[in-house]
């Protein structure tokens, strides 16, 4: 089984698109090799590590970062156009806060120790970009985990503790030490690195080369 590590952050819109493109790449490889199997593993990345724990107003942050409202709206439209072919309808206007994603990454880390975390990751992206929910809020994260079949009370207790905080931060630091500074980044079989939400054909080629 091939492991595909996905370095991403829940507040990165291109990471949502990258996940869709990876799925198409996997489907392309499986058409050629029906017995191909892979395991996705999410690795943490803090796109904005200085975001306060309670979050910060979304649009003002982006306007300051990109130089005003017009550049931000142009960016939104580019992302919307890129997401439409993959069934992603971005609702940036619903997002009140830019979240600190440490708790979300801890939750993903916790879920991966119990099996496939992909349904949870998908739900987190939907919460952030389609429903405008604050993915930095521990109560919301526990609710979302419950929707995905995890014990919500256990998740709430875990998030309220400091368990795995140091470990997740260390994982993120290790990723940066590898020279990774852009998300999404895909590490295929521990060998090939694909940076960015590349076309499915590029990701499929990386998978084929690794298998070869």
pLDDT tens, residue by residue, 128-146? 999 999 999 999 999 999 9
Q: Report the mean per-residue pLDDT for the chain.
A: 97
Structure tokens at 41: 């593993």
- At 108-123, the pLDDT tens digits run 999 999 999 999 999 9
Query: By percentage, how much of the chain surpasses pLDDT 90?
Result: 100
Q: What does the pLDDT look like over 154-199, one tens digit per residue?
A: 999 999 999 999 999 999 999 999 999 999 999 999 999 999 999 9
pLDDT at 113: 96
User: Mean pLDDT, to the nearest integer, of 81-97?
Assistant: 97
pLDDT of 145 reads 98
pLDDT (0 to 100) of residue 71: 97
Owning domain of residue 61: 2-211
State the total domains in the chain: 1
- pTM: predicted TM-score of the whole model, two decimal places: 0.95
- Could you tell me the CATH number of the domain that includes residue 46? 3.40.30.10
């Amino acid at each position: 089984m091939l492991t595909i590590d996905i370095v991403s952050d829940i507040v990165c819109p291109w990471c949502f698109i990258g996940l869709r493109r990876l799925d198409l790449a996997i489907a392309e490889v499986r058409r050629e090799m029906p017995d191909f199997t892979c395991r996705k593993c999410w690795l943490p990345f803090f796109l904005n590590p200085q975001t306060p724990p309670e979050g910060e107003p979304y649009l003002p942050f982006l306007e300051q970062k990109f130089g005003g409202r017009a550049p931000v709206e142009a960016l939104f439209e580019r992302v919307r156009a890129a997401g439409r072919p993959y069934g992603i309808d971005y609702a940036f206007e619903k997002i009140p806060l830019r979240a600190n994603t440490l708790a979300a990454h801890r939750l993903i880390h916790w879920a991966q120790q119990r099996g496939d975390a992909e349904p949870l990751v998908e739900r987190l992206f939907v919460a952030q970009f389609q429903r405008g929910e604050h993915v930095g809020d521990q109560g919301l994260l526990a609710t979302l985990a419950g929707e995905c079949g995890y014990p919500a009370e256990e998740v709430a207790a875990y998030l309220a503790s400091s368990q795995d905080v140091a470990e997740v931060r260390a994982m993120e630091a290790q990723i940066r030490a590898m020279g990774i500074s852009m998300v999404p980044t895909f590490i295929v079989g521990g060998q090939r690195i694909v940076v960015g939400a590349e076309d499915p054909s590029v990701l499929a080629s990386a998978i084929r080369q690794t298998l070869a």
